Amino acid sequence: MIYEDIEGLVHAALQKGLITSADQVYARNQLMHLLKLKAFPEQLDRVSEASIPDLLDKLVDNAIANNVIADVFDEKEMLAANMMNCFVARPSVIQGEFACMYDQSPEAATDYFYELSKNSNYIQMNRIRKNIHFKADTVYGEMDITINLSKPEKDPEQIKRERELKQTVAYPKCMLCVENEGYAGRTGYPARANHRIIPVDLMGEQWFFQYSPYVYYNEHCIVLAAQHRDMKIDKTAFQRLMQFTSKFPHYFIGSNADLPIVGGSILSHDHYQGGRYEFAMTKAEAAFSFTLNPFPEVSAAVLHWPLSVIRLRSVDADQVADAADYILQTWRHYSDEQANVAAFTGDTPHNTITPIARMRHGKHELDLVLRNNRTSEEHPLGIFHPHADVQHIKKENIGLIEVMGLAVLPARLKDELQVIENFLLGGELQDVADYHQEWAQQLKEAYGTLKKDEEAKTIMKKELAKKFSRVLEDAGVFKEKCAFERFIAVLNKEA
């Protein structure tokens, strides 16, 4: 069977355009080497027909059965990535093809690269399909809810190996560094042999474009600095974002904030995230417009959104960048005791911005989400962070993706929510996790005992989206219009 699976993988790679017929013998021999096979039959009765991910799984299982690798998570990942690397062209070839496609259109270039990233199994679509994803209406529009099941659990042997590992290897410095391209992986560090990146010039500096291996939305991409350096939100960052959307006008791009609590999971490497997807925040209407006196060419509005967002628009990217920088510098030093906003504790800064850029109707559009990471005795995880009463649903940082209206929720909720549904259908409260019981009782009081599974599932989706809206409301710095107006008054007064 292994020979049939090898030939099946070669044929699948040929069908997906990863290789040509001239590459078949070479690719087969490379796979044989990785699987420690000395020869290949002259003739096969059949060729396995399956998807690339399924064929990889079969070949990995065979390698375990024949003691080629141990049945350990990282060894399986490294073998699968190395097998796919037999079919993926070198970076120079892919970059050249991307450039040729870009000459046709930016869409053609990203379509080519996205398909390559999926076909090479760098984006592991089989795993991503395990995620639970749905949309639900809220007062702020249709939110996206994802329960993240795509990240595989590490087996006990893998965990043991990582604990026993004595050597500290600082290469690559982090999972966003350019040195990840083609890196075979090691215990405790992911395999990236089949990973490729595309150089992009932004503001005269080399950056790189890639896709996220765990895409949370369509064409979820990462744009990373060539240099390993900390995240930084400044005027140049705004300019880079808009230059990227000028080069790829069918994509949005945004940045996590550059401070702990309100920033993303990786603050040690300057990077942005983008893609081809319309979030609820993108569709948000203006709650009210206002004039930004120093920048009459730029339209400004506060969005009807749970977080505190200013949307800037103009045909002139430089004007938008200047206006955004002016707002950022004012916000960095802005305090409002009535709104519980303090810019500093001693010399420690608290105010920053999560920016998102896009092209719309021929204009540059830049959303500035005001963030503050101060903590208090009442809210030790953050005053403008999910509060204790919603942490049973979402306790993690509210990063760029959540800011835009896509909840990335922990895998534990898959089973926990099912138990709550059972409770609504007449089950026992004691079966519900302790931290969900108050919420479950509130739902029972609101809806009574339900009779149909589908009704329980519909209610659960609706109520989960409401909880996520509350999570985002907690992260909003200005809870009332008058608080926003006080900040706007300072913007125009200081001008």
| DSSP-derived secondary structure for 59-103 | HHHHHHHTTSS-S-HHHHHHHHHHHHHTTSPPHHHHHHHHHHHHH
Is the confidence at residue 265, as pLDDT, over 90?
A: no
Question: The whole model's pTM is what?
Answer: 0.94
The pLDDT of residue 495 is: 54
Q: What is the 3-state secondary structure (H, E, C) of 216-253?
A: CCCCCEEEEECCCCCCCCCHHHHHHHHHHHHHCCCCEE
Residue given tokens 């230059």 in the structure block: 243
pLDDT average, residue stretch 7-32: 98
Average pLDDT, the chain: 95
**CATH topology (fold) of 131-167+199-406+478-494:** HIT family, subunit A (3.30.428)
Q: Cα 64 vs. chain centroid, distance in angstroms?
A: 32
b/e map of 136-158 (b: 16 or more CB within 10 Å)? bebebbebbbbbbbbeeeeeeeb
Is the confidence at residue 154, as pLDDT, over 70?
A: no
pLDDT average, residue stretch 117-141: 96
Half-sphere exposure of 488 (CA within 13 A, CB side): 19
Q: Using one digit for the tens of pLDDT, what is the confidence trace for 54-108?
A: 999 999 999 999 999 999 999 999 999 999 999 999 999 999 999 999 999 999 9
Share of the chain above pLDDT 70, in %: 98
CATH 3.30.428 domain extents, the chain: 131-167+199-406+478-494
Q: Using one digit for the tens of pLDDT, what is the confidence trace for 155-213?
A: 667 667 777 776 678 899 999 999 999 999 998 899 999 999 999 999 999 999 999 99
pLDDT average, residue stretch 112-125: 97
